[in-house]
């Protein structure tokens, strides 16, 4: 069974602070996705990373894929209340199309 462990599970910070969420596994993934989910909504895809060592930036969000493609991190700079939500990482395998493995999720609360 492939497992993705996310940390921390819960994070509550003040507006303007920085934070990092980690996603770790013992498995090597072909690709890794990060999603954000707000209450009452489905997960929304933020980014896909496929190359070991890859870094992608999406405004105040920076995503990094580990060199060995087993782990990833999401860094948010100057967090805003609108960043509040459940962040999920998901690892995919090219040989098992569509059956991504999801992490446990990180619930982020940004207080104004």
Partner 1 sequence: SAVISQKPSRDICQRGTSLTIQCQVDSQVTMMFWYRQQPGQSLTLIATANQGSEATYESGFVIDKFPISRPNLTFSTLTVSNMSPEDSSIYLCSVEDLDREYGTEQFFGPGTRLTVL
Interface with partner 1 (CB under 8 A), residue from 71, 92, 108, 110: 92
> Rounded to an integer, what distance in angstroms lies between the CA atom of residue 50 and that of residue 52?
7
- Residues 6+ away with beta carbon under 8 Å from 1: none
Residue 99 within binding range of partner 1, rule CB under 8 A: yes
Stretch that binds partner 1, among 19-27, 60-68, 69-77, 88-96 (CB under 8 A): 88-96
2-41 positions binding partner 1, by CB under 8 A: 31, 33, 35, 40-41
> Rounded to an integer, what distance in angstroms lies between the CA atom of residue 89 and that of residue 19?
16
Paired strand residues for 86: 37, 107
Residues of this chain that interact with partner 1 (CB under 8 A) are: 31, 33, 35, 40-45, 48, 50, 86, 88, 90, 92, 94, 97-100, 102-105, 107
């Amino acid at each position: 069974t492939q497992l993705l462990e996310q940390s921390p599970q819960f994070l509550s910070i003040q507006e303007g602070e920085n934070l990092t969420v980690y996603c770790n596994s013992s498995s090597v993934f072909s690709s890794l996705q990060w999603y954000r989910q707000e209450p009452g909504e489905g997960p929304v895809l933020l980014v896909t990373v496929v190359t070991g060592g890859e870094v992608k930036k999406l405004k105040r969000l920076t995503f990094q894929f580990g060199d060995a493609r087993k782990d990833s991190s999401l860094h948010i700079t100057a967090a805003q209340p609108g960043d509040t939500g459940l962040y999920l990482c998901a690892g995919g395998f090219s040989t098992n199309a569509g059956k991504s493995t999801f992490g446990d999720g990180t619930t982020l609360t940004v207080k104004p």
